Amino acid sequence: MPKDHRAQPAPAHPFPEAPKPGEVLEVAPGLLWLRFKLPFALNHVNVYLIEDGAGWAAVDTGIGDDLTREVWESLFAGPLKGRPLTRLILTHHHPDHMGSAGWLSEKFGIPVHMTETEYFMGRYLGTGHDAVHGDAHRIFYQNHGMTESGAAAVTGRGHMYLEMITGLPSSFHALEPREPFEIGGRTFQVHTGGGHSWNQAMLHCEDETFFIAADQVLGRITPNISVHSVQPDGDPLGRYLDSLASLRAAIPDGTLTLPGHDLPITHLHQRIGELIAHHDERCDIVLNACRDKVLSCAEITPILFTRQMDEHMFSFAFSETLAHVNRLLREGRLVDVGEPDGPRFRSA
Ligand SMILES: [Zn+2]
């Protein structure tokens, strides 16, 4: 769930004005920044085009709706001057990033590049045989203290996914961190990381010091880190923190960082530090809440997220809360006291 979190004032943004939908902004020679609208509270997504021979390799596509398609068509007719897309690099399977992939790959007859996990997750959810609808999943949320209707709100989310995507082609190219990735004469190092999604892909162009960060590092909001019923004891927060540490070690500070949402930044290391501190603080809130009381995850959720929430918002907040709970269980700082109704937690 996005929230403002600034420990220190951020340095000035290198590109303080985002392009409007239908416009392009050249952030480096042969590197274009595009924006598409989203029908959510987070109302936009960034897409980047990298010059690739006679056309453009697109990093992400926007969601799979009519408005996004119209904006793409106006871009092809206008600012892109009829130059085609050559391939799609999809950072992760979330619909705001790859929703229009099926349509674009068919339109241009072009391949997609993704990490294996993201491709198979996207294909799996795209079949509609989404395992999160079963009774076992509903019971999982209820055992964690969620109401029946609250559990139904979470397990209903999968239906929405199908409405926001145009599919994926039946084959793909795997993005691998160990292989350099060439686009139009540029060489990129692929980075991958879990936490926000299963194994998100990012691209670092060391020679020109820019880094396409997807949703792993965002300048203003904190990426959503959630546990879902498909992997009840998963530790996405641990994976996310590991990924941030390895990005900080691999990518020099000052690198132009091009995120999936909001504005580009250059204070990459400061921002990574803020994101780590943010999750530390959130873990402390959970620990304090469970200091004198035994609580379910559903009871911890409104302590961590104090604003008014409808059932839908609550279900997102719950999944994020469980990410912090599972991290703390791993660290031995929280224990599950094992009540018959389901998991109940107290500080160790
Ligand atoms: Zn995402």
- pLDDT > 70: percent of the chain: 95
H/E stretch holding 290 reads none
Residue 269's domain comprises 25-291
The reply to whether 336 falls in a domain is no
The CA 164 to ligand 1 mean position distance, Å, reads 13
The reply to whether 161 falls in a domain is yes
The CA 90 to ligand 1 mean position distance, Å, reads 11
Burial category of 148 from C-beta neighbours within 10 Å (exposed 0-12, middle 13-18, buried 19 and up): exposed
The reply to whether 104 falls in a domain is yes
What are the distances in angstroms from CA 269 to CA 118, 195, 248?
26, 18, 6
The CA 136 to ligand 1 mean position distance, Å, reads 26
Assess whether pLDDT exceeds 60 at residue 6.
no
Q: Convert the pLDDT of each residue in 215-243 to its tens digit.
A: 999 999 999 999 988 899 999 999 999 99
The CA 144 to ligand 1 mean position distance, Å, reads 25
Quickly state the pLDDT bin for 131 (edges 50, 70, 90).
Answer: low
The reply to whether 85 falls in a domain is yes
The reply to whether 148 falls in a domain is yes
Q: In this predicted structure, what is the pLDDT of residue 132?
A: 62
Number of domains into which the chain is organized: 1
Q: In this predicted structure, what is the pLDDT of residue 158?
A: 61
Burial category of 297 from C-beta neighbours within 10 Å (exposed 0-12, middle 13-18, buried 19 and up): buried
Q: In this predicted structure, what is the pLDDT of residue 1?
A: 40
The reply to whether 3 falls in a domain is no
Which residues hold their Cβ within 5 A of ligand 1, which is an ion? 94, 215
The CA 196 to ligand 1 mean position distance, Å, reads 6
Assess whether pLDDT exceeds 90 at residue 5.
no
**What's the longest Cα–Cα distance across the chain?**
65
The CA 97 to ligand 1 mean position distance, Å, reads 7
Q: What is the CATH number of the domain that holds 178?
A: 3.60.15.10
What average pLDDT is seen over the chain? 93
Name 126's Cβ contacts closer than 8 Å, sequence gap at least 6. Answer: 161, 162, 165, 167, 168
The reply to whether 307 falls in a domain is no
Taking residues 127-139, report their average pLDDT. 75
Q: Do 102 and 119 meet the contact criterion of CB atoms below 8 Å apart?
A: no
Q: Convert the pLDDT of each residue in 11-44 to its tens digit.
A: 789 999 999 999 999 999 999 999 999 999 899 9
Q: Is 126 left (phi over 0), alpha (psi -120 to 50) or beta?
A: alpha
Q: Parallel, antiparallel, or unpaired for β 334-336 and 345-347?
A: antiparallel
The CA 339 to ligand 1 mean position distance, Å, reads 34
Give the tokens for residue 244: 């941030």
The reply to whether 269 falls in a domain is yes
